[in-house]
Amino acid sequence: MWWFYALLSAVFAALTAIFAKIGVADIPSNTATAIRTVIILVMAWGIVLARGEHKGVTISKHTMLFLVLSGLATGFSWIFYFKALQMGKVSQVAPVDKLSVALTIILSVVFLHEAITWKTAVGALLIISGTLVLIIK
């Protein structure tokens, strides 16, 4: 069932790019990012509270450290993504942003010691190749 959620993620990520490009047309990209972040914050906490997932949760220092680091990485990603959208074409920015898929595969091998299959390696190389096609003049 994971693939269904991953597919929904891809659909909403695509919509995010389109909506964001329109949304950053008349305001600074950092302001647009801040507004988007508030919406996400309200939505995420609304889901947590509605589902009662906040009850009885204890968070270790290790978990909190990596959630904070993940949050910082997400914040920087969004800030740079919105700036890129403001300056470039969605049809170029979004695919280059998806280079993160190939980078994630590489980092998962290096830091998480995940095994990589030939299919995964070829897929990552195709993503990297596609990104180079888009950014090289």
Q: What is the per-residue pLDDT across 1-12, written as a single tens digit (0 to 9) for each?
A: 888 988 999 899
Looking at residue 134, what is its pLDDT?
Answer: 84
Residue 41: CA count within 13 A, CB half-sphere: 9
Tell me what pLDDT residue 76 has. Answer: 94
What pLDDT does residue 10 have?
A: 87
Q: Check residue 47 and give its pLDDT.
A: 97
- Structural domain count, the chain: 2
Residue 42: the pLDDT is 97
Rounded Cα gap, residues 32 and 23, in angstroms: 7
Q: Are residues 63 and 112 in the same domain?
A: no
Q: How far apart are CA 63 and CA 69, in angstroms?
A: 10
69 located within any domain: yes
Q: DSSP character for 113?
A: -
Instruction: Name residues of the chain where pLDDT drops below 50.
Output: none
Range of the domain at 44: 2-88
Which ranges of 53-98 does DSSP label H, i.e. alpha helix?
Answer: 61-87, 90-97
Query: What pLDDT is stored for residue 108 in this prediction?
Result: 96
Cβ-Cβ contacts under 8 Å for 27 (sequence gap 6 or more): none
Cβ-count burial 35-71 (b if 16+ within 10 Å, e if not): ebeeeeeeeeeeeeeeeeeeeeeeeeeeeeeeeeeee
Predicted pLDDT at 115: 95
Any domain includes 93:
no
Q: In this predicted structure, what is the pLDDT of residue 106?
A: 94
